[in-house]
Structure 1
């Protein structure tokens, strides 16, 4: 077999650990998002739809979700040719499920609903070649925490918890209300007692969730004040150290750039990586999983990861999850880091998105790997089939599992 065929086969046969998503098991009921209406009202497509719509923002969001989906479908798929990555992704989902395109969205809804059943979630993961997904579990969200408080049973090998703490770091006023309601007495001022009680709150949720890592999305201008850095360094990092948990940092969003767009209104800012350098130097025993939202600074971040072995870069996040930017960033990481990084995660919120995000990513990464292996063979290194399978499993499974 030629290298291209072996790489394609290995990528298709290797089930991946999707190490950052916003997915939930079916047992979490309404939190488990599936179906065409959820796909079409995902924030990428809503933002793109408003590039053409003259409708008032509020009137759109007051519509039932099915009507929102109808309007997105008409605007982006019927009245115009769908060319954005998110729109093409919807077509990839339909193709993966053998559902033919139809201008009548109700026809597609009907075909997709016929597939849904008790094993639908597992079927989507199997089709996508995903063995397990890491969730993002927010102890400050009443819907999410309810399932842990009542110990909703679910398959923890397939849906792996991660403890989300950015509501603590980025919104102390709201977070402390919930911490107090949980019986931990904290005040507005970050006194020693408040810091100890906050750590106790985090320990409680680590024990309850049993997460694989702790996760925080840090805005582009973090830390904005000494309280934010204190909560990270005096609460989150000590609990990570006590429990042996890695800290996943997703850095760079500019929240509510256009608040009228609701969840679709977030933008991107350029993060000052000197703060990450400081964390890596100051806490050398703490492991950091890191991804960054801006294209700017990716080279600096890659060099940083080369200098600190307590850093593992992962994925092309959010706005970077397009073929062009995946190619650019992944190639750069290969050049600087060898295979010591995690090439991709899906960041999915809707179950069917797994189908397109992993198909598109595998296609792009295959091209990069084929070129790299061919270059090595041209220089006299024999690339065996087993080597390619080993390398792909390393990058999509082993690196993450060993690091965490």
Structure 2
């Protein structure tokens, strides 16, 4: 169908975005093989670390007192503080309400115990199916760290998998704490030393290849600090260039860099205590230029880096920009970044990923992001419709399928 006016355009864009099945390219979710590592249910949703940090701004208790509480007691405190004693319009609070509403629960009751009842007779397998259906997610990418003992045990044991859940090999410990983690590799039978000799580098490459064989990951990934620089005289820089880069190229497993996190700015908040810092885009440009046959997926945490990152992606076709990560996952910033990316890069980006740590979060993160992305797409199509350009409904569907997953799979298959 040819779109003739903005009324038809609005309907076509909304329909395409609402109906598209998403590939969520970065989450912290797990298959049921990993047991309790897969977080789900209302208490996990309410005690997500975003809401912990918000709550601790209000309550007059110590951090130790909070961490000594049971999960249900923590949820009760957060619910009373953020949802009853204050209006829940932060994005993290609104997200909880969206999940409960999409599940058909009576939000107006404000009754956390009633919401808990919904989950009592639900198996995790049933709930996975329910959440993926409600969120419109076809498949998702996990975060899998072989340095985490509980995860490692599963991979070395009876991992069965779920075709909807794809693996990603997390390599932060290699890059950010080699002086500590080389000992772990040695324990596992790799002949490595803290000094990065040629034989040690060869063994690191063997470690990476072994885990690629075991996991079949869609990419290797690392969360990196604002001070991440390549090249430099550091273990991290050498491991990137002499281990990650060659293995990534040889195995056709892209290197995903998530740059800009300052770990444990407030250690008393534990996982909620991380912060953000501006990074140097020069490292991304250097890697893309020096290794043109390698593939790089990049997201950056600081708002101040987003324009530079878009410009870099215009110059390097082996760079795929993705998502509004972590502190950027707020409606005003998602809209701003999505507009800028579409204006600079057209549809050749992945505008969003969920970064979900609780299964339920897939529902609200994709519900909220779909609406914002649809609004931006409508404006962009309206601009070209006003010039006299003909827009067809199937072309809108084509574009939407690309940005919600198709671009990712095409990038993995391309050769540079």
Q: Same fold (TM over 0.5)?
A: yes
How do 1:86-165 and structure 2 match up within 5 A?
Answer: 86-101=92-107, 102-116=109-123, 118-155=125-162, 157-165=163-171
3-state secondary structure, aligned to 1:2: helix
RMSD value, Cα = 1.2
3-state secondary structure, aligned to 1:289: strand
**Aligned residue number for residue 201 of structure 2:** 195
**Aligned residue number for residue 261 of structure 2:** 253
**Aligned residue number for residue 291 of structure 1:** 299
- On the 8 A contact 1:35/1:113 being kept in 2, the answer is no
CA–CA distance in 2 between the matches of 1:385 and 1:242? 40
CA–CA distance in 1 between the matches of 2:347 and 2:168? 24
2:294 maps to 1:272: no
2:315 maps to 1:307: yes
**Aligned residue number for residue 231 of structure 1:** 239
3-state secondary structure, aligned to 2:213: helix
Give the CA deviation at 1:104: 3.1
CA–CA distance in 2 between the matches of 1:90 and 1:203? 40
Aligned residues, how many?
A: 403
Q: Per-residue displacement from partner, 1:145-201 (whole Å, max 9, x unpaired)?
A: 11110141021x300001000111001133212211210021121111111111111
Q: Per-residue displacement from partner, 1:324-376 (whole Å, max 9, x unpaired)?
A: 00111110011111111101100001011000000000010010011111111
Unaligned runs of 5+ in 1: none
CA–CA distance in 1 between the matches of 2:329 and 2:407? 20
3-state secondary structure, aligned to 2:43: helix
2:217 to 211, 232, 255: 211
How do 1:371-386 and structure 2 match up within 5 A?
Answer: 371-386=379-394
2:372 to 336, 348, 364: 364
3-state secondary structure, aligned to 1:305: helix
CA–CA distance in 2 between the matches of 1:203 and 1:151? 20
Give the CA deviation at 1:115: 4.1
**Aligned residue number for residue 47 of structure 1:** 53
Give the CA deviation at 1:382: 1.7
1:18 to 21, 24, 29: 24
Tell which deviates more after alignment, 185-194 or 290-299: 185-194
CA–CA distance in 1 between the matches of 2:278 and 2:124? 44
2:290 maps to 1:282: yes
CA–CA distance in 2 between the matches of 1:244 and 1:314? 19
CA–CA distance in 2 between the matches of 1:237 and 1:117? 38
3-state secondary structure, aligned to 1:119: helix
CA–CA distance in 2 between the matches of 1:296 and 1:167? 27
Q: TM-score, normalised by structure 1?
A: 0.97
2:176 to 161, 170, 177: 170
CA–CA distance in 2 between the matches of 1:225 and 1:315? 31
Give the CA deviation at 1:114: 3.7
3-state secondary structure, aligned to 2:394: helix
CA–CA distance in 1 between the matches of 2:111 and 2:179? 47
Give the CA deviation at 1:111: 2.1
Unaligned runs of 5+ in 2: 1-6
CA–CA distance in 1 between the matches of 2:180 and 2:27? 24
Give the CA deviation at 1:381: 1.2
- On the 8 A contact 1:251/1:292 being kept in 2, the answer is yes
- On the 8 A contact 1:21/1:135 being kept in 2, the answer is yes
3-state secondary structure, aligned to 1:215: strand
**Aligned residue number for residue 339 of structure 2:** 331
Q: TM-score, normalised by structure 2?
A: 0.95
CA–CA distance in 2 between the matches of 1:116 and 1:191? 50
**Aligned residue number for residue 327 of structure 2:** 319
